Amino acid sequence: MTDREKALEKLTIEVNKDIENLCEITKNCNFLELLYFIYQLHWIRLLQHFPNAKKANPNVLSVYSNTIEESLKYLISLSAKFGNWNIVTTKDNEPYFNLKLVQFLIKQTTLINSKYESESLVKLFNVEVSGERNRYVKIDMSNVKTDENVKKLFDYYIRIDEDNNIKKNSKKDKDNLLKNFAEEYSSFDDLFTQEMGVSLTDFIYFINKTIDDVTAKILKNEKQFDILENGNVDVNTFSTFINFAKCYVTSKSFFLESLDKKFEQVLNKLTLDYENFNPKELKHHQITRQPFIAKKDTLIISPELILDSLFTNIHYSLIEATNIKAEYIARQSSFFLDKILAIATKFDYEEISRELDLYEGKNQIGDIDILFRHKSGEYLLVEAKNHALPMDIYFKDVTKTNEHLKYLQNAWEKKVLRRVKHLKDYHIEYDIPKNHKYIVVSRFPEVISHYSDLLIFSIQEFEEWLLNFNEVENFNEFNEKYYDKIGSKFTDEELKEMQDANLFLMKYKKE
């Protein structure tokens, strides 16, 4: 067994054992511990607004908040499933809250996630295992400088992380989020109604009313919160916690009384299913698909969980519905082109054609999804790739990434290159100038960007390219110019502090 295999085996055993222990320990969580995780999810979103965070590196705050948020969502699911949902009281008949328990659980969950994340590093870099029972694992990243394939994969995973961070850090307030949601799914209203059982308008009403009701209860309870000398709410006191968190709780029957009968099936669809919740699934959270939490008649409503679920849940609900999947994908493709158009328009491009078919004799060899002409006269041809990234690749499985790369090279890139060559030879037939640019814009970062002569951007990168790097015609040059600044977000001291907090297990050192 190689050192890499030993390290992977050690990680797998440790993570599985840690998860089993965590499931067992969360059985000690009572109702207040469950509410505390939801309460903390609210405040972690506001971390940058706290006075002691004003001088902190915003990139460090982002890492902290995103990492702790992942731990909290996992613990909400665990304590909802395994906890006892009772309120324990002291001898003085006061509610008992186990602060030490929740602090321990958050720390342990963060450590488990760090171990899990380190698996991709073990697969990518050189590994040395030593000590009794392979206790010590040393990861040597020096091959990123000598192995071209390792460098490209490492660069690709940095792109995935940055894409994920952009999405996480672009959270909007409720009203703007619902407005964007309505705009995104307005052209899918008939499909939405088939899957969800209510119209898009009714669904948005349901979400809006649910969150507004919780917010109103919180505002009504403000006088019960402890206040600091500077006038801010003291979020760390038990009194603030209990008076805030109880606003999340209602009875399911009371909640449904004020709503039309049709919304009961919506609530059932969006309520966490404990039977199908798999604690060993760390890649994505079931609670993102099912953000309402209930047991018997008790219902917990977290505005943060509900808003986080909107886009992800509806997208996957529609794409998983076999009777509407094909139609949904077709309409999504058109909508994706509209997104590309909206970006290009900001940089003085106008659409001149869409889905232009290309022919070699009588044989169609594909089409150009959207053609732009800049005010300077330059033509930009865009192939749109509105495909979701396979989950294993999004979470940096090296083997799956390499398999996906080979698939793209054989099943997709060859066809695109054929169209590129065809347009070079026959551009006059399509009334396109010879010096046009041909690029690919994908929904997510694609690994093939690093291995192809084509310019292949994610939709986030496309806008960055138009803004700052429009003259760059090689992706690796773009990658070097744009992403090199990502690595300089943290000082050595900040990296050390984050490692000490178990946000990651690797040791980083700048040259």
Residue-wise pLDDT tens digits, 101-114: 999 999 999 999 88
DSSP state of 474: -
Residue-wise pLDDT tens digits, 155-198: 998 899 888 877 776 666 899 999 999 999 999 999 999 999 99
How is the chain split among helix, strand and coil, in percent rounded to 5?
60, 15, 25
Where b means 16+ CB within 10 Å and e means fewer, 364-383 reads eeeebbbbbbbeeeebbbbb
Answer whether CATH 3.40.91 is correct for domain 326-487.
yes
Q: Averaged over 116-145, what is the pLDDT?
A: 83
- Using pLDDT thresholds of 50, 70 and 90, give the confidence band for residue 489: low
**pLDDT for position 263:** 97
Residue in the structure block whose two tokens are 């000590």:
131
**pLDDT for position 507:** 42
Q: Which two tokens stand for residue 114?
A: 């760090």
Residue-wise pLDDT tens digits, 361-379: 989 999 999 999 999 999 9
**Residue (of 136, 129, 95) closest to 245 by Cα position:** 95
**pLDDT for position 493:** 65
Residue-wise pLDDT tens digits, 459-468: 999 999 999 9
Domain borders along the chain are 172-321, 326-487
Where b means 16+ CB within 10 Å and e means fewer, 415-450 reads ebeebeebbeeebeebebeeebebbbbbbbbbbbbb
pLDDT higher at 47 or 10: 10
Three-state DSSP at 246 gives helix
The chain-wide mean pLDDT, for the chain, equals 89
d(CA 45, CA 158): 23
| pLDDT over 80 at 2, yes or no | yes
**pLDDT for position 490:** 55
**pLDDT for position 474:** 92
Q: Which two tokens stand for residue 212?
A: 């507004």
Q: Averaged over 132-149, what is the pLDDT?
A: 82
**pLDDT for position 508:** 38
Element (H, E) at 339: helix 325-345
Residue-wise pLDDT tens digits, 499-511: 565 555 444 333 3
Say if residue 359 is exposed, middle or buried (CB neighbours under 10 Å; 0-12, 13-18, 19+): middle
d(CA 403, CA 123): 14
Q: Is the separation of the CB atoms in 368 and 358 below 8 Å?
A: yes
**pLDDT for position 162:** 86
